Structure 1
Amino acid sequence: MIDPQLQSKALRRLSIIKGQVNGLEKMIREQKYCVDVLTQISAIHEALRGVGREVVENHLRTCVTDGLRKGDAEKHYKELMDIVYRLSK
């Protein structure tokens, strides 16, 4: 479960990212300089990674911590390895 404060922050950041994606679409439609387009793509990637980091931290502080306290460590270790692998691509 996502902390309400994190949820608000993440939704605000995602709204900004939507604006960036819309701007990127406009840049491509207007055939802007490739390096400028690639720079915008990089900024969007980094913004999404930032949201992902926040969600992972929340997951560690809540779901994983609770699972470890309840003796469900192996499930959470596997899940974390899967998450780390996916986020590192």
Structure 2
Amino acid sequence: CRYFVGVLNKETGKMEVYDAEQFIMQPILEKNGRIQNSVSGTMKTKIVAYVIALALHITDFQVDLTLLQKDMKLKESRILEIAKAMGLK
């Protein structure tokens, strides 16, 4: 299954579609050899919330959070926490 990402070009006002594989996040190595995440925890939460909202719109407002949780490599409790914060039941 392939995923695509749509990005709105502010200059042209048109939607540009990219293969989602181009957007894989890679860790950044610091000089001391430690790994630094390139995406903060807050940003990860925001991304998950956007993915849930997008999935709801695409699937007629019914989403299996278990599938999203596995795809996004999250703990079940974390995705449920985000969903509850969004007002989902």
TM interval, shorter chain, is 0.3 to 0.5
Larger Rg: 1
Length-normalised TM-score, structure 1: 0.35
Q: Which has the higher helix share?
A: 1
